Amino acid sequence: MPADILAKKMSQAVTGEKAWRHLEAISEATAANGGHRADGSPGYEASTEYLTRTLTAAGYKVKRQEFSFLDYEIFSEKASVTAPNPRTLTPIIARFSISTPEGGLTAPVVVPSGKSTGCTASDYAGQDVKGKIVLVDVNDCFITQKQITASEMGAAAVLMNVNAPNPQLNLRYRMVPPEDARIPIATLNRGEAEQLKADIAAGPVTVNVDLRGRNKMTKTYNLLADTPTGRADNTVVMGAHIDSVDTTPGMNDNAAASAVLLETAVDMAPYWKHVKNRVRFAWWAAEEKGISGSQYYVDQLNDADRSGTALYLNLEMIGSPNFLRQVYNGRTADGPGPAGSDRISGLIGGYFADRGLPTAGLVLDGRSDHSPFIAAGIPAGGVNAGSDAVKTPEQAKVFGGTVGEMLDPCYHQACDTLANVNRTIFEQNGRAMAWAVGRFAVDTSDVNGK
């Protein structure tokens, strides 16, 4: 069967309605087992058991790829203004943050005199921040860099303004890499941060922060299922992470993508005899814990396995309610991705264009499971409907939606339920990726020359 024919058959087979039934099953498994799918949790186990049962019924042999990863256990995340107007704050400690002493530390709070993000020493020009707590905004650089800069300036701790459209929204960030942690760091929601800034503008403000946690090892597993046909030395890997953070049922992040991936595997089974390149379907663990599952997978590849991996297709947050129709654009923040990544982008973008659906390019950043593949020189691409970025007026003209609101207003929040998943973009992204894997299951020659 020619590549274009199998691609068409797959895109027709993987409907939103069929994939939604899997999403409902994952939602039920999550809700009945603690309300989240953090690694090692009952919700994770129940959800992967559903995946395994469904794949086995379709004829797949399912493998658990077990591993341990560096996790972070939280003991305290408290803060309060002690003077001049005492009140309680609600910080969220960054994973792998350095801890304060038990009972916390108390110090004056200052904001950068220059750029509010505090990414470089020049942002604090003319300021003495030694022994103080600095309050900075997110964005412009990784939080790891912010706390390194503050540490080198002598600061005692860092508080970050999440600066989200919803003034009550707060998010947990992580130190990457963990060994670069220097001083305690936590986030505040925009409402609390802006009030704190207003108080500082009026005079000195003192805050106590009690931020304590410790590193620990957690056991979990990736779930892998291969087509029994196709060249093993030219494997197409298609994946999505199944884990969630522990504050949410994680239906858009990332059960929706996992459900579509499952339906794609099921619908490919009748076409196994036409698969020329082995397809490996992968549900990654611990994406929310430093992209640890896909990183472990790539780390275990020997030279032959790595050269025998044709490409990687990633599905991330495919049903965001205030979506952009984003296609990874074949480039990293530092330049072109591995050879062939631009071709993957062009083909997926072309699928949408042929149907009159506009797309936006998204850089192959370090925020999802494509990252380890890119670092290993394996071409990659995929789709992502958006997370915590805020929709601009220009984007709303093309894609509709609400200007000034996050692409997923329930990102990492308890409201990321089935009601948070936009069924239109869910189906569009699902069909596009089913088309792509059908195409590459037959022909990857224009990506990797095989």
- What is the set of active-site residues? 287
Rounded CA separation 117/160 (Å): 9
Specify the DSSP class assigned to residue 99.
P
**Secondary element (H or E) of residue 132:** none
Asked whether the beta carbons of 285 and 240 are under 8 A apart, the reply is: no
Q: Which two tokens stand for residue 27?
A: 């939602």
E strands, 171-230, in order: 185-188, 206-226
Nearest residue to 250 (alpha-carbon basis) of 15, 21, 29: 29
Rounded CA separation 350/54 (Å): 31
- The residues, ordered by sequence, that sit 6+ positions from 204 with a Cβ below 8 Å of its Cβ are 83, 84, 108
Nearest residue to 188 (alpha-carbon basis) of 205, 172, 176: 172
Asked whether the beta carbons of 186 and 79 are under 8 A apart, the reply is: yes
Apex 116 CA angle, 115 and 117, nearest 5: 95
Which amino acid type is present at position 296? Y
CA distances from 204 to 111, 112, 151, 250, 412 (A): 11, 14, 21, 41, 34
How much is the CA Rg of the chain, to the nearest whole Å? 23
Q: Where are the alpha helices (DSSP H) in 292-422?
A: 292-299, 303-307, 341-354, 370-375, 393-399
CA distances from 251 to 223, 372, 400 (A): 18, 24, 22
Give 134's strand partners: 110, 158
Rounded CA separation 394/380 (Å): 28
Rounded CA separation 439/201 (Å): 59
CA distances from 128 to 13, 110, 150, 301 (A): 63, 9, 11, 49
CA distances from 26 to 48, 215, 289, 296 (A): 9, 29, 20, 24
